[in-house]
């Protein structure tokens, strides 16, 4: 029984050789930042899904790295940049505001504005 347990555990254990994966934070605000960040970082190995919903080995590695960076007082933006430099911008669920994404962020407001305009314009006519 015990041997089976041990064998099973070997199977489910991650490829974590050094075993130092403690989620230690300096304060609760940092802890909250972490849990909030991992929801918007994509798991690079999964078909879709955030780090929060993945326990793939690389996801665990990235999570530990994020904790490291948080404890080094890096800001959220710096952490996002760090990850997108290495895994591509597709690893961020927030595509950011830049020349190629302006249209994404502005279009909804524009749509609403134009629709309301048409609505009121047609009523006056």
Partner 1 sequence: MTVFLRLLILSISLSFFYFFYLYINEDKYYPGASFQTSNMPLFELEDLYSNKVITNFDIEEAYLINVWASWCITCRVEHGFLMKLSSQGIPIMGLNYKDDRNDAINWINKFGDPYKQIIHDIKGELALDMGVTGAPETFLVKDSQIIAHYRGEVNDMIWGDVFTPIINKENIFNAN
Partner 2 sequence: MFIEVAQFLTILATGLFFLCFVFSVIFNVNDLNIINLISRIYSHSFLLFLFSFLIYVWLAITDNFSVLYIAQHSNTNLPVFYKISSIWSAHEGSMYLWIIFLSLWGAIYNISSKNDEPLKARTIGIISITTVGFLLFLLLTSNPFETILPLPPENGADINPVLQDPLLAIHPPTLYLGYVGFVIAFGQALAFLIEGDSNINWEKQVRFWSIISWSFLTLGITLGSWWAYYELGWGGYWFWDPVENVALIPWLAATALIHSLSASSKSSILRIWTILLSILVFSLSLFGAFIVRSGIIDSVHSFANDPERGLYLLAFIGLLVMMSLILFSYRFALLVSNKRIISLSKESFISINNILFGTLIFSTMLGVMYPLIYEYIYDQKISVGAPFYNAIFVPITLLACLFLFSSIESKWQSKSVIAFFNNPTLASFIFSLLITFISFKLYSVSKLWTLASLFIGSLIIFRYILVIYSYIFHKKFVNVYSVLAHIGLGLLIISIALNNDFSSERALNIKINETEIYKDHEITFDNLQLIDGPNYESVRADFIIESQNGNKFSLNPEKRKYFARGQITTETAIHASILKDIYITIGDQLDDGSWIVNVQFNYFIRWIWFSAALMIISGLFLARTIKRARQ
Closest approach of partner 1 to the CB of residue 27, in Å: 25
When CB distances are held under 5 to 8 angstroms depending on the partner's kind, the choice from partner 2, partner 1, none that residue 61 binds is partner 1
Query: DSSP string of the chain?
Result: -HHHHHHHHHHHS-S-SS-------SSHHHHHHHHHHHHHBBPSSSSS-BGGG---HHHHHHHHHHHHHHHTT--HHHHHHHHHHHH-GGGBSS--SSTTTHHHHHHHHHHHHHHHHHHHHHHH-
When CB distances are held under 5 to 8 angstroms depending on the partner's kind, the choice from partner 1, partner 2, none that residue 105 binds is partner 2
72 or 108: whose CB is closer to partner 2?
108
Q: Which of residues 29-88 bind partner 2 (CB under 8 A)?
A: 31-32, 35, 39-40, 42, 46-50, 52-53, 55, 60, 88
- When binding is defined by CB under 8 A, the residue of 32, 78, 85, 94 that contacts partner 1 is 85
* Interaction between residue 4 and partner 2 (CB under 8 A): yes
């Amino acid at each position: 029984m015990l041997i089976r347990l041990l064998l099973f555990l070997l199977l489910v254990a991650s490829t974590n050789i050094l075993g130092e994966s403690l989620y230690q934070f300096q304060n609760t605000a940092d802890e909250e930042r972490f849990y909030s960040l991992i929801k918007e970082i994509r798991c690079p190995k999964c078909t879709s899904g955030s780090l929060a919903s993945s326990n793939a080995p690389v996801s665990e590695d990235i999570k530990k790295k994020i904790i490291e960076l948080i404890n080094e007082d890096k800001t959220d933006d710096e952490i996002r940049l760090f990850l997108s430099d290495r895994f591509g911008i597709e690893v961020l669920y927030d595509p950011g505001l830049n020349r190629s994404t302006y249209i994404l962020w502005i279009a909804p407001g524009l749509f609403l504005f134009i629709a309301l305009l048409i609505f009121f314009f047609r009523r006056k006519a």
